[in-house]
Chain A
Amino acid sequence: MIDQAWIEAALTSSRPQAVAALLRYFRDLDAAEEAYQEACLRALKNWSANGPPRDPAAWLIMVGRNAALDQKRKTSRLTAMPDESQVSDLDDVETPMAERLDHSQYRDDVLRLMFICCHPDLPATQQIPLALRIVSGLSVKQIARAFLVGEAAMEQRITRAKAKVAGAGVPFETPGPVERAERLAAVMQMTYLVFNEGYSAGPKDEARADLADEAIRLGRLLLRMFQAEPEVMGLLALMLLQHSRQPARFDANGDAVLMEDQDRRLWRTKLIQEGLALIDKAMRHQRTGPYLVQAAIAALHARAMRFEETDWAGIDALYATLERLQPSPVVTLNRAVAVSKTKGPQAALDMIEPLGERLANYFHFHGAKGGLLLQMGRKREARESFDRAIALAGTAAEAAHIRMHIDRLIADTEKRA
């Protein structure tokens, strides 16, 4: 017995591999997608009648390729139309061709497909939709909903992005190790961008929140292809651990709940376990990278059953490592939060004061600074920072959170007045 849900799940999970292989055959994104679509249509009919194939991806690749070649022959007047029974006979296609498919190319195929979506000429606003459309197979409608734009506008954005990458000429030869590593780095970054789109979504914005799950799926795909790459383990672990907090991140009103106030019993242990296991694996390699360090920081939060049990010294040390690997004022700002817990608000304030210029327009800088000043009782200055933060808030949740601080300050002042 084979049900519709199974077929749909099989089609979705086979998509990256199938489209990637078809892209290698046709060297054209549109042709590859069309061939894949055609194969899916045939799968819906064939699989429900004849049962599922042993290797759905291989089936789709072979059938998609044949269908496209067949179509070409049909439209070409130079060649006589082949007998219908010959071209559409799919029964005997599966077993022999599954063996013939070259699985060793799978990894570079999928990497190439993903890499095409993160062409440096494409801004993130185009990379993410393109990857979601081409690699994940989300419909334009789904993507448009996630980005809160009209379907036509999103269609246009994707078409434009496709046109740009079509002319970019990503080579189809098997990449060398350096090139492969560069592609992997770009693809990892794009995957994390997709994740952050989902992670930063508000609680009622389900379409966008689903992107976090999608990014985790892409991360798993990457790790299956690059099993011994600690940074890929780190990336997947980071996404799993951050996503594990999802059920606790918003209250009933949809307002953001700070990590210190979250009900940790709501955290998804299943995701935490997988994240921790991956970090454990990655540690063996003794090769630290930014994703792994960030994952390790997330792990220290995940391990603390209560906020008070958080290993802030460990987090401080990990942020220090991250500062070395990837110096950035934002990393220092995050480190300062850990320092405020171990050495007090003054030490943290000293640390972030020099960042003021570079982070002048960064919401979290002013929010954190306001928080530190508040802890030290410097209320007037805190208020100034909070006002600055609220003006820079990017989401309603961010604004609401700062608003709460300000309201508390005002209430406090009124009480004393």
Chain B
Amino acid sequence: MMYAVLCYNNEEMICGWTREQDDAVMAALTKAHDKWEKAGKLKPSIRLLPTSAATTLHKQQDLVLDGPYAETKEALLGFYIIDVDNLEEGLAFARDLAQANPGGAYELRPIQLYLPGAPIDGAYATDREYAGDKVPAK
């Protein structure tokens, strides 16, 4: 089973960390990651930039607003990782998706740190089946 583990904390506090504090936390996390990555169970991990760097496309009205998606009625249902030239191209991607699947919003939040982790389709992967879907293995 694959899980997305979503990380929540008080952003104002995290942004207030000194560089030393931040480095210390990242070092501790890297240590914690290590065991799981070696076991092939840690896949990509991502640290996002602060919400102030986010831009949100509200699909229905094709409305682009600065800042994160702040409504609490909707739930986070999924996410994409894209590698584009700039925000405009990112919005073009989001608009294409919106055409296919209207309703709700896409928040575009720049990624600060992308660690690929153990390959998803690599040496550690084994054949797995769940919910009728075959997960590709090596």
B18 contact set on A, CB distance < 8 A: 213
A223 touches B110 (CB 8 A): no
Q: Which residues of B contact A280 (CB under 8 A)?
A: 86-87
Are B49 and A224 in contact (CB-based, < 8 A)? no
Q: CB-CB contacts of A234-277 with B at 8 A, as 1s and 0s?
A: 00100000000000000000000000000000001010011001
Interface contact A274-B112, CB-CB below 8 Å: yes
Q: Complex formed: what's the CA distance from A176 to B42 in Å?
A: 52
Interface assignment of A284: CB less than 8 Å from any CB of chain B: yes
Q: Whose C-beta in chain A lies nearest to the C-beta of B87?
A: A280
Q: Considering the chains assembled together, what is the distance between the CA atoms of A224 and B54 in angstroms?
A: 11
Segment at the A interface, from B30-38, B62-70, B120-128? B62-70
Count how many chain A residues have C-beta atoms less than 8 Å from C-beta atoms of the other chain.
27
The answer to the question of B10 belonging to the interface, with a C-beta cut-off of 8 Å to chain A, is yes
A228 within 8 A of B: yes
Interface contact A10-B87, CB-CB below 8 Å:
no
A273 touches B16 (CB 8 A): no
Query: With A220-B50, A273-B112, A274-B49 in contact, do A284 and B17 touch (Cβ < 8 Å)?
Result: no
Contacts of A278 in B (CB 8 A): 52-53
CB–CB B17/A223 < 8 A: no
Measured between alpha carbons, how far is A312 from B68 in the docked complex, in Å?
35
- Least CB distance from A107 to B in Å reads 13
CB of B13 within 8 A of CB of A13, answer: yes
Compute how far the CA of A233 lies from the CA of B66 in the bound complex, rounded to whole angstroms. 10
How many Å from the CB of B105 to the closest CB on chain A?
A: 15
Other-chain residue from B13, B49, B51 in contact with A10 (beta carbon distance below 8 A)? B13
- B19-44: CB near A (< 8 Å → 1, else 0) gives 10000000000000000000000000
A9 within 8 A of B: yes
Q: Which residue of A lies closest to B15 (CB)?
A: A220
Bound complex: CA A281 to CA B65 (Å): 10
In angstroms, Cα B15 to Cα A227, docked, is: 16
A284 touches B87 (CB 8 A): yes
Cα A10 to Cα B66 with chains together (Å) = 26
Asked if B53 and A13 make an inter-chain contact with CB atoms under 8 angstroms apart, the answer reads no
Taking CB atoms, residues of chain B closer than 8 Å to A283 are: 87
> Which residues of B are found within 8 Å of A217, using beta-carbon distances?
15-16
A46 interface hit (Cβ, 8 Å): no
**Is A288 an interface residue when CB atoms closer than 8 A count as contact?**
no
Tell me which residues across on chain A come within 8 A of B55, comparing CB atoms: 281, 284
A142 at the B interface (CB under 8 A): no
Kindly state the separation between the CA atoms of A324 and B107 in the bound complex, as whole angstroms: 35
Residues of B97-138 at the interface with A, using a CB-CB cut-off of 8 Å, are 110, 112-113
Q: Ordered nearest first, which 8 A-B pairs have the shortest CB separation?
A: A227-B67, A13-B12, A277-B110, A280-B87, A228-B66, A277-B53, A223-B52, A227-B66
Interface residue ranges, B against A (CB under 8 Å): 10, 12-13, 15-19, 49-53, 55, 64-67, 86-88, 110, 112-113
